[in-house]
Amino acid sequence: MRPVDAPIVTAAEMRAAEAACFAGGASQTALMEAAARAIAREAARFAMGRPITVLAGAGNNGGDAFGTARFLAEQGFDVVVAALGQAGGGAAAMRSRWSGATVALHEAPVRPLVVDGLFGIGLSRAITGAPAAAIERLRAGADFVLAIDIASGLHADSGEARGIVLRADATLALGAVKRGHFQGAGIGASGALLLDTLGLSVDSPVRMLARPRLAAPGAVDHKYTRGLVGVVAGAMPGAARLAAGAAARGGAGYVVLAGEDAGVPFDAVVQRAAIDPERAAAVLVGPGLGRGDMACTLCEEWLSSDLTLVLDGDALSLIDADSLRLRTAPTVLTPHAGEFARLFGEPSGDRIAAALDAAQRSGAVVVLKGATTIVASSSGEARVHRPSSWLSTAGTGDVLAGLVAARLAVTKAPFRAACEAVWLHARAAALAGPALVADDLAMHIPIAIAECL
């Protein structure tokens, strides 16, 4: 199945869940049998009757692989196992139950479907030499690669490539999805992500982002009870227009734009005026703001206020982490990788861990944007989402910032608001379709919201 609202775990957390399962009386072999059945079901679906090569390493993934080969052969598939190393522990028991054809990895036949059970979450070194050459040959010749748990060559936590990676067309995560599926090379090398929990009890404060449940305005609500959003922008009209428009369509009752007048017309729900701090539910600072003296002064003034803030764009280049720690009012930051590195330092491998650390250090909710977007809170919670790659175009970040401000004005809950905004932003992109521009996003926000009511 495709995972929804699923916990995302580290290798250590996965091992702890397995250990708890074994402590409760389950055997390692029984768990491998369950995993093998699940993998065989998916492999049969992708193979469509064609021959299969199953790659089996010496560890637990190899045990799963030998079991998978057995179940596929029992269904009538033409299966060959290509083995690397001598299986031990539970994997040895699974190998002993396989009576079909087995060859060394370097002799693996190139077949339409390759099931990758070479290296799992325990990989700690680069894949080089003969195994790397075999992986390169198999990937080039196979029509489809199904990875068992994680593609061979990926670090389970960071998603970093350890030498060559056997890029998968689909990955069946076992027990829980791993952080490495959403980071580094894992984003492109995991393919379609599937999950079988195998009945394991796994929990984590880091989870996949789920579709939010939104509420329509109440019968007696008006523009101020729905939430006034202030947008502090500069002379770059495009950024201001996109952010303000997204805030208006994202659920805010009233949007006030404070900034240099670039002569850009706005609709009836967006007005140019001074922001009334008594009425503002959330203030977005940064879209097109610039980095001059006036912009710096504006940032300092808003940062020292007791208003709920969303800081984006140029504002993130005019502040520092120390000033953020001094804030007591709710704050949401929406940095891309470069802005994040300037504020908190370059992430070392695990971006999820880096975002959580930044949230704890700053006291803010951090929305770290990228091919995978991470929403992290200072309490240690995080939500992770892989949006459409078509979002990698100018102006989409301004739309997201406006959405965050709107949801914050409505919910008054920074982490929840950021999660809602990230989901709606990604869904609007999916609705807009390929080759979208930022203006397309804003037009599809109401449709995305309607799906959540």
- 370 labelled ligand-binding: yes
- 10 labelled ligand-binding: no
- 150 labelled ligand-binding: no
- 200 labelled ligand-binding: no
- 369 labelled ligand-binding: yes
- Annotate 116-159 with DSSP letters as a single string: EES--TT--S-B-HHHHHHHHHHHHH-SEEEEESS-TTB-TTT-
- 371 labelled ligand-binding: yes
- 120 labelled ligand-binding: yes
- 288 labelled ligand-binding: yes
pLDDT in tens, the chain (453 residues): 788 889 999 999 999 999 999 999 989 999 999 999 999 999 999 999 999 999 999 999 999 999 999 999 999 999 999 999 887 787 899 999 999 999 999 999 999 999 999 999 999 889 999 999 999 999 999 999 999 999 999 999 999 998 999 999 999 999 999 999 999 999 999 999 999 999 999 999 999 999 999 999 888 888 888 989 999 987 677 888 899 999 999 999 999 988 665 454 555 445 556 788 889 999 999 998 888 888 888 888 999 999 999 999 999 999 988 889 889 999 999 999 999 999 999 887 899 999 999 999 999 999 999 999 999 999 999 999 999 899 999 999 999 999 999 999 999 999 999 999 999 999 999 999 999 999 999 999 999 999 999
- 261 labelled ligand-binding: no
- 315 labelled ligand-binding: no
- 64 labelled ligand-binding: yes
CA dihedral of residues 75, 78, 84, 88 (deg, nearest 10):
30
Separation CA 366–CA 376 (nearest Å): 5
Domains in the chain with CATH codes: 8-205 (3.40.50.10260), 228-450 (3.40.1190.20)
- 116 labelled ligand-binding: yes
Separation CA 313–CA 264 (nearest Å): 20
- Is 269 within 8 Å of 229 (Cβ atoms)? no
Judge if pTM exceeds 0.75: yes
- 238 labelled ligand-binding: no
Coil vs helix vs strand at 236: coil
Task: Label residues 273-293 b or e (16+ Cβ within 10 Å = b).
Answer: eebeeeebbbbbbbbbbbeee
- 348 labelled ligand-binding: no
- 336 labelled ligand-binding: yes
- 412 labelled ligand-binding: no
> ∠ CA(121), CA(126), CA(127), 5° rounding?
90
- 60 labelled ligand-binding: yes
Separation CA 98–CA 81 (nearest Å): 9
